Structure 1
Amino acid sequence: MAETKETSEKDEKPKPRVRPIVRLGIFLISHSFLVSVVCCTAGVLALFLLPVLAKNTYISENALMPGSASPMLSTQHVSDGNKLVKDLTSLDLKSSETGIESQRVIAQYMLELGAEVSFHKFHAQLNQFHPLHFFSSPDSGIIQENFSCSSYGINTVGIIRAPRGDGKEAIVLVTPYNTLKSDLGEAVSVGIAYSVFSLLTQVTWLSKDVIWLVADSRYGEYAAVAAWLRDYQIPKFSSLSTPNSEMCPDINNLYELKINSIAGSKFSNSFRRAGTMAAALVLKVSDQSEQYEDTISIYAEASNGQMPNLDLINVVNYLAVHRQGLRVKVEKLWSLLNSSWLKSLGEVFESLGKVAKSLNPEWKFGIPATEYVEGTATLASSLYYQALGVPTGPHGAFRDYQVDAITLEISPKYSLDKFRRIDILLRGGRLIEGVIRSVNNLLEKFHQSFFLYLLTSPSKFVSVGVYMIAFALLIAPLPMVAASLYVDANSLDSKTNKSTPSTIADTGEGGITIRSWRWLNSAKLVFAVHVWGAIVSLLPYFICQIPDSSPTIRFMIWVVLSLISLLTLYSVLASPFSCNNTSQEKEWALVKSVTISYVFIGLGLMSVINFATAEIGALLMVPMCLLARPLKFDLRAGSLRSFSRMVCNLVLGLIAFPPAAFFLLKGMLEGFGSVNIGDFWMWVESLWAWNSATYIFIGMVYLPCWVLCVHILLHTC
């Protein structure tokens, strides 16, 4: 008996201890519905709390020291700048056909200051969709055989060599100027830049070279700046990239300036360079007067949601407000300012803030309702323009080369008459002088402050560590729901079809049984639909080849070809309207599980490329994926819960369809009377023309996800 007892004790092996992380995973998977509701609700709430959690901006880099020195720009410099404005406007009155005279005048003024002057010739390049060059810049650099002299632009470039520098760093000042059709605002912006330029030729504290680029904006401000940057960063040694002077006599005549210039001038026919760019400012002056006060608007968004270092914006904001008395503005979604529900939400947060302050005076929670509404409108605008991935100004060309740059647009309170022009020249010039002086103090590139942030006002921001919480809460339920659906589908399969030879018995910890490899069929379907998404993304390249077609016609052709290709796909693969046998009762759950997994991966990758796109995509895709369920089951159930879910599925399926979402958003912002079918094509065309990653996300992640959710809704098994 003793031997038998000892043998039985040896046969009994101790059960392995389940790790706490495994227990937690099993618990979350078992309660995936509750976790999904809590996380999605918390994610949306965290998004609306961002304006409340915004912090005041501050200068992270002490070396910038904005406003520490008194401005040196005098009335004499302003007078010189005003003289240039008068000369340019008088040339416009003469209706010069070629614009050569205005460039000649600007170059002559630069030469009189002792700057190095050169002309940069570039060929206007149209942004065109090409699938093989999607994430690369449109840098051909070679003139086509059928060019015309009228398609050339000429930038005027002046360089000041720093007396205390070694030529390794430079600051760039850009003033767009249309040589054929300029307005008074552009002439004043050139005058401001010239007044600062004349000052910088006399100072002794300058340690970085200063480049003044007068961009020929007749073919677009961005195109002129991008062409100059392309040649600055990537030197070209082929003569094909420069126009032939014999074929273009107007361009050749421009170089006669060297003969007429003053003695000892530094005019050069070759492309002149300075050091590595530390920062860039694009200066514009609006000819339209503001209603209340002199303002300056800051545009910072670049391609694919890139933003300049926050310190650069902080320096401009500090100097504009505290030194020059200018009101700083950033873009807002103006339609949200009159939203009653947003105002009510702001009042709720304001009341909660008062309660929190009464409990503990040190708790700083809650802001006034009006400030909350304005902060939300600014935050929504920041998210929208970052998600588009399209630059909001010529500064975007600098961010492609990792140079911190912003566009400043000064809007005067009154029209630019003689007296107001002097005031704008003085205040604008001193602002630019202060920013250049701060950047000049830097010993290295901007790196102390944030590159990933959202603005709620010119002086408040939300950092990446805060706004990532909302996104993380939104996508957190996806892997748990995917695992729960997979387990449920295979558990049902193990009960109804135990003798299936394609099953592999494997009981894991916690009693979760994984028996079937049938998920590969669902993965094949999901993969095929995403291949279809890639085909849909490439169709516009071929549709654009159709001559004399309107945006509406192109959009309709795109829709028809996409439907034909989708129906062809379903004719080859399984159709959502048919079911082969009863063993596939949970086939939709496997499709949903694989779809959710792919959406989780797609959103995670997109958050690295462009977080704003991933955030907006998660708001639309996560509820649609989590609620997707065959409509047949909800109709059979007949309960209030199933009916509500069916209505939500239908509403989300309609709203989340990309064209429908675009028309709904455009109608809410601009009015439904202005909505046109061809607007969606033009919007998508702008995305691919600017190589926005949002276009790839819509075509290869968002649209296939919508199709798969519709597939699940129409499933009849």
Structure 2
Amino acid sequence: MIDINNKKTRLLLVIVGLVMYFGGIVSISYFPAQSHKTYMSENALLPGAANVEFDRSDVDAAIRYSQQWNQYIAKCNKKDSVENCRVEASKWIEEQLRDIGLETYTHVFSIAGHDDGDVSEQKGYNLYSVIRAPKSDGTESLALTTKFNVKAIRLQEGDVTGVGWILAMASNLQRRARTWMAKDIIIVITDGHFGGLGMKAWLSDYHSSGENDARSAQSYFRRAGMIQAALNIDINETYRTNRFNILAEGSNGQLPNLDLINTIARMAAKERVTDTVQLALNESPINRHLPSDMATLATFMYNQAMGVPTGDHGLFNDYHIDAVTIALPTQQQRHTIHQNSVMVIGTIRSLNNLLEHLHQSFYYYLLPSPFRYVSIGEYMISLGAIVGPLIILVLLLLFSLSTTFKPPSMKLIKQRQQQPNADLVDQQQPQQQKQQQQQPITVTDTPIDILYSATMVGVTLTIGLLFFLVPLTFPRATLSLLQDLSTHSNSLVSDAVLFVSFATVYLIIFTLVYPRLDSYFYPSSISTLSSTESGTGPLPTTPRGGSSFKVFTCLPVLLFITTMSLLNFSFSTIAAILVVPLCILPMRSSWPILRIFQALVTLAISPPIVLYLLARLYLNQNVYTLIGTLIRQYQLYSTLWLPFLTLIYIPLNILTLKLVITSSSSSSSSGSNKIKTQ
């Protein structure tokens, strides 16, 4: 049997674990060097095979529409409220789309409690038009989307806006695309006042059955075919000039089919503008000191790990629609407007060639550049190395428990096979007694230990589940409370509420819940009797539950990380880097100073302190604003940070604290321990 309490075994485990842990982290830096060139898997796409007609008149139309839109918004802001401006702006866009000759519809939706602490219902106004393919049955379609804001900006001569640019695109497609269209094209312009909620509402209504639709015939939601792919256009004055940004990260880190990105990259190669194609909007100060491929990969993994879409394209993932956001600057030269428009229309034309849904290429990949990729078979090795210490620890602990449930008959047979001959007993007995005195007493876990550990971990996970379910069950009340605390006049009092609340929960757990479980599984009378009858002196100091306590504490963490890695590798990698040391490093010790130090470190990295430091020092915001953001992001995009915090990190912190503070005061657990002697 492997004794994990042995110093040599623990030292070897630590060395192997450190090598695997840091080796896995370092191996990520080799991803760009080990990446492969992208290639087209879907032959039907044929990017760049046909010439795209987008001439000087179309460029002039994009600039003209942009100037007219900005002037209209500026006048509206001077004489009317934001609410009325949004209504008037939607009417102006509808008028322009109808003048182009498109069948256009207004989609009115309602949003309740969009602003923090505001539970009133607000209306939004989306516009969408359908360019019908003349020779198709209308069962398939493509989407070209953007959103409008009623905030005027300073436009120089030749600048474009998202609304103006997409109106010019719609005009071009209406006049020139009917000769090659095999799928309907939907032009969607959503209300940007609510962020991505406008697109979310439009997609929800577009894909709803409509059987219980109580709208009048005038506002009936007209539809095109099933959306096969989508391109979202985001034009902003803050984006860097001379850059064509492809943003692929969607809800909870989901990615589109790699062939969609490959198609755009091939169109850029045809236009000879590959140097301008990027995968991120802005570079962080840290990334500026990294090689370009590594900086791109770091930004890509960070955006994926956060789980928040980098554009409205991420909302299409919920409906299994491949989509990306193309982010462009407002300031563009005329030839740049032409090149960017050709790349977008060329991508639409390639997607129009599809005979079936995109499926040939990868859905799990990392991109160090738009033209190179790292496949799942390569990057999962790094995650396996990072969680390797946790896997080794769990396997060793499980192996040490393997004899707990072994049938008694098997143990009796093994003892008979190992029994020495009678002639050698007298000769070996003095030597055995001497070895017995030198060997440490070995303690094995009994079924009571395992049942106790499973119960303790189950109860703690239930507490974490309550932290997870309460804000989701009562979202308005929770968000309203967080808003009140974040805007409290006295920040010290509001911050103290967080620490006092968690301290109260911890005190209840460690003074009421855990002591009752300890007394139930390890009654003091049984412990005293067992210690008296053993006749072997003082028992070894092991925590209640023995090795199984560590097993059941680490198993939920291991299962969560390995399972979520199939959904969001970048998130799982960051989570593993954070929690693997918390599972490995806490140890049993008979030294009071070491136990106190471990307890203080465990409290120092407790959830309230980590959240407070993250909010104040890194994000520069109120801690309650951060918590509210985590709740909203989970509701909108199913991000994994709220489940990780409540279901994994909080229980892990509580169980670790239980382990380190009771490591030397658990000798009363002898009722469940068995001393093995020769």
TM-score of the aligned structures, taking structure 2 as reference length:
0.76
2:243 to 295, 305, 311: 295
Secondary structure class of the residue paired with 1:60: coil
8 Å contact kept, 2:287–2:298 = no
Aligned residue in 1 for 2:375: 463
Question: Which residues in structure 2 correspond to 1:204-353 (within 5 Å)?
Answer: 204-220=179-195, 222-238=196-212, 242=215, 269-288=219-238, 290=240, 293-323=241-271, 325=273, 327-331=276-280, 334-337=284-287
Q: Distance in 2 between matches of 1:156 and 1:409?
A: 20
Amino acid at match of 2:648: V
Whether the 8 Å CA contact 1:487–1:513 is kept in 2: the answer is no
Residue 102 of structure 2 corresponds to residue 190 of structure 1: no
Q: Find out whether 1:436 has 2:348 as its counterpart.
A: yes
Alignment partners' CA distance in 2, 1:566 and 1:481: 27
Which stretch has the larger CA shift, 107-116 or 693-702?
107-116
Deviations 1:591-613 (A, max 9, x none): 11221223222222222343322
Cα displacement string for residues 657-685 of structure 1 (whole angstroms, at most 9, x for unaligned residues): 44555566678867xxx465445434434
Correspondence 1:648-687 to 2 at 5 A: 653=602, 657-658=606-607, 660-661=609-610, 674=620, 676-678=622-624, 680-687=626-633
Pick aligned residue for 2:468 from 537, 543, 547: 537
Rounded Cα–Cα distance in structure 2 between residues aligned with 1:128 and 1:32: 51
Aligned-pair CA distance for 1:629: 0.4
The CA deviation at 1:569 is 2.3
Q: Which amino acid aligns with 1:684?
A: L
SS in 1 for 2:311: coil
What displacement does 1:34 show? 5.5
**Mapping of 1:23-38 within 5 angstroms?**
32=13, 35-38=16-19
| Structure 1 residue 229: Cα displacement | 0.7
Matching residue's letter, 2:371: S
Counterpart of 1:704 in structure 2: which amino acid?
P
**1:696 is the counterpart of 2:643:** yes
Separation of aligned partners in 1, 2:92 and 2:480: 43
**Aligned partner letter, 2:349:** R
1:335 alignment partner AA: P
Asked if 1:124 corresponds to 2:36, the answer is no
Measured against aligned partners, the alpha-carbon deviations of 1:596-645 in whole angstroms (never above 9, x if no partner) come to: 22322222222234332222111121122112103544858xxxxxx9xx
Q: Percent identity?
A: 27
Q: How does 1:539-688 map onto structure 2 within 5 Å?
A: 539-540=470-471, 541=474, 543-546=478-481, 549-551=484-486, 556-574=496-514, 582=539, 585-587=542-544, 588-633=546-591, 653=602, 657-658=606-607, 660-661=609-610, 674=620, 676-678=622-624, 680-688=626-634
Deviation at 1:156, TM superposition (A): 1.4
CA separation in 1, counterparts of 2:500 and 2:95? 58
- Report the CA distance shift for 1:270/1:182 in structure 2 as closer, same or farther (over 3 A): farther
What amino acid does structure 1 have at the position aligned with 2:587? R
CA distance in 2, matches of 1:667, 1:377: 26
Contact 1:60 1:311 in 2 (8 A): yes
Question: Residues 81 and 195 of structure 1 are in contact (CA less than 8 Å); yes or no, is this contact kept in structure 2?
Answer: yes
2:387 to 458, 475, 481: 475
CA distance, structure 2, for counterparts of residue 157 and residue 706 of structure 1:
50
User: Does the Cα contact within 8 Å between 1:506 and 1:514 map onto a contact in 2?
Assistant: no
CA displacement, residues 397-453 of structure 1 (integer Å, 9 cap, x when unaligned): 1111111111111125xx46xxx3x44542332121111111111111111111112
Q: Distance in 2 between matches of 1:651 and 1:376?
A: 37
Confirm or deny: 8 A CA contact 1:155 1:214 kept in the other structure: yes
Letter in 1 for 2:458: F
Match of 2:654 in 1: 707
Q: CA separation in 2, counterparts of 1:183 and 1:176?
A: 18
Residue 537 of structure 1 aligns to which amino acid in structure 2? Answer: F
The DSSP-based 3-state class of the residue aligned with 1:426 is helix
Deviation at 1:549, TM superposition (A): 1.2
Note the C-alpha offset of 1:61: 1.7
Higher mean C-alpha deviation, range 77-86 or range 649-658:
649-658
Q: Is the aligned partner of 1:175 residue 2:152?
A: no
**Displacement, 1:385?**
2.2
Asked if the contact 1:607–1:614 (Cα under 8 Å) also holds between the matched residues in 2, the reply is: yes
Greater alpha carbon shift after TM alignment, 280-289 vs 508-517: 508-517
> Distance in 2 between the 1:47 and 1:509 partners?
48
> Which one of 64, 77, 85 corresponds to residue 83 of structure 1?
64
Residue 296 of structure 2 is matched in structure 1 by 378
Could you say what the CA RMSD is over the residues aligned between the two structures, in angstroms? 3.9
With over 3 angstroms needed to count, the CA separation of the structure-2 counterparts of 1:175 and 1:479, relative to structure 1, is: closer
Counterpart residue type for residue 507 of structure 2: L
Q: Does 1:522 align with 2:453?
A: yes
- Cα pair distance change 1:482/1:177, threshold 3 Å: same
The answer on whether the counterparts of 1:504 and 1:516 sit within 8 Å (CA) in structure 2 is: no
Deviation at 1:305, TM superposition (A): 1.4
Task: Tell me the distance in 2 between the aligned counterparts of 1:88 and 1:227.
Answer: 24
1:612, 1:424 → 2: CA distance?
34
> How far 1:534 sits from its partner (Å)?
1.4
- C-alpha displacement of 1:172: 0.4
CA contact (8 A) 1:555 1:681 kept: no
* Cα distance in 2 between the residues matched to 1:126 and 1:401: 25
Is the CA contact 2:252–2:308 (under 8 Å) kept in the aligned structure 1? Answer: yes
What amino acid maps onto 1:624 in structure 2? Answer: L
Unaligned runs of 5+ in 2: 1-8, 419-441, 528-538, 666-678
Separation (CA, whole Å) in 2 of partners of 1:110 and 1:543 = 42
Using the TM superposition, give the Cα deviation of residue 68 of structure 1 relative to its aligned residue in structure 2, in angstroms: 1.9
Alpha-carbon distance in structure 1 between the residues aligned to 2:590 and 2:33: 43
Whole-Å Cα distance in 1 between the matches of residues 395 and 653 of structure 2? 20
- Structure 2 CA distance, aligned partners of 1:64 and 1:232? 26
2:106 partner SS: strand
CA contact (8 A) 2:108 2:123 kept: yes
CA contact 1:159–1:212 (8 Å) conserved in 2: yes
Relative to 1, partners in 2 of residues 1:548 and 1:706: Cα closer, same or farther, differing over 3 Å? Answer: closer
Structure 1 residues 453 and 589 mapped into 2: Cα distance closer, same or farther (>3 Å)? same
Distance 2:580 2:616 in 1: 24
The letter for the 1-side match of 2:346 is G
**SS of equivalent to 2:181:** coil
**1:480–1:436: structure 2 CA closer, same or farther, 3 Å change rule?**
same
Q: TM (normalized to structure 1)?
A: 0.72
Cα shift at 1:177: 0.8
The alpha carbon displacement at 1:161 in A equals 0.7
SS in 1 for 2:277: strand
Q: Aligned pair count?
A: 588
Equivalent runs, 1:99-114 vs 2, <5 Å: 99=85, 100-114=87-101
Using a 3 Å threshold, how does the CA distance of structure 1 residues 564 and 655 change in structure 2: closer, same or farther? closer
The offset of 1:62, in angstroms, is 2.1
The answer as to 2:4 corresponding to 1:59 is no
Structure 1 residue identity aligned to 2:262: N
Query: What is residue 3 of structure 2 aligned with on the other side?
Result: none
Measured against aligned partners, the alpha-carbon deviations of 1:101-126 in whole angstroms (never above 9, x if no partner) come to 44334323322333221111111244
Q: Could you tell me how far 1:655 is from its partner in structure 2? A: 7.4
Shift of 1:480: 3.5
- For 2:654, the aligned partner's letter is V
Give yes or no for contact 2:65–2:165 (8 Å, CA) kept in 1: no
The whole-number CA distance in structure 1 between the counterparts of 2:189 and 2:645 is: 37
Q: In structure 2, do the counterparts of structure 1 residues 515 and 174 end up closer, same or farther at CA, with 3 Å as the change threshold?
A: closer
Decide whether the 8 Å contact of 1:663 with 1:675 is kept in 2.
no
AA at the equivalent of 1:206: M
